[in-house]
Structure 1
């Protein structure tokens, strides 16, 4: 009976605690609302179809962190130079990147990395998760951009998120 009412006691405490922190008050009304949210939200969350993260090998993670950090710095410089230069030096565009990675958490990490890198933004994931739409600040060769994303980010992420 208790397990049905409170499927995740830790989530119940977390939601209730965050509510109290958010309102900055521990009066009767705030406590009642915290209790209601703490009970109701985990009940709804338990009904969601969740895909749990599977973690594979983390040996590529340190190198990947360095690569992403380097790419962020390099892209900042490239974007700044293009903005300060002539407008004709900017060729924005959208490209569809075919995905080999299937793990939704790996795809989420890939979209985050792309969006963190200046000059690129993840715009849309196809419903079948086969393609990722990426907007690029400057695209001369779409195939080269796709190859770079797949080699520098997707391939290591496929080892981390099998």
Structure 2
């Protein structure tokens, strides 16, 4: 993937040199042309096109922002409610992620979302212990983490 990005930047600089016009717009046009060229050549050169991962990365960012806004609204409702009707709890969330940085990214995203906090990892690193400020259903909370953050991280890394 890194080679494809560097190749795409190289094509953009080549475009600038051939046009003999050194502007940001010409660089972006050259980058777009390189992007299209790599997309077309992906079948001939038998490599995975990096645009899919870039798209998945932006989807992960948008998902995180969406979940962040929803969690903030939930915490605001809890804080502004006249009586404290919460059920806090700690749940062991198993994960299918393989590498340490994927698991760390998941734990960080959980901790940055208001109302949840990653507390610890299991010995093998395949389970994250998460504290929830309010938990209705344990299985639903685990499913929510798997279907949102973990799935999005797997799309970016695999």
> What TM-score comes out, normalization by structure 2 length?
0.63
Tell me the distance in 1 between the aligned counterparts of 2:54 and 2:123: 28
1:3-152 to 2 correspondences below 5 Å = 57-152=53-148
* Higher relative contact order (Cα pairs below 8 Å, separated by 6+ residues): 1
Tell me the distance in 2 between the aligned counterparts of 1:76 and 1:104: 28
Shift of 1:129: 1.2
**Partner residue, 2:152:** 156
Tell me the distance in 1 between the aligned counterparts of 2:108 and 2:99: 14
1:123–1:132 CA contact under 8 A, matched in 2: yes
Give structure 1 regions of 4+ aligned residues with deviation exceeding 6 angstroms.
none
Tell me the distance in 1 between the aligned counterparts of 2:60 and 2:150: 10
129-138 or 57-66, which deviates more: 57-66
Shift of 1:86: 4.1
Of Structure 1 and Structure 2, which has the larger fraction of its residues in helix?
A: 2
1:103–1:161 CA contact under 8 A, matched in 2: no
RMSD: 1.8
Q: 1:99 to 1:107 in 2, by over 3 A?
A: same
1:96–1:133 CA contact under 8 A, matched in 2: yes
Alignment length, in residue pairs? Answer: 108
Shift of 1:80: 1.1
Q: 1:127 to 1:58 in 2, by over 3 A?
A: farther
Task: Could you tell me which runs of 5 or more consecutive residues in structure 2 were left unpaired when the two chains were aligned.
Answer: 1-49
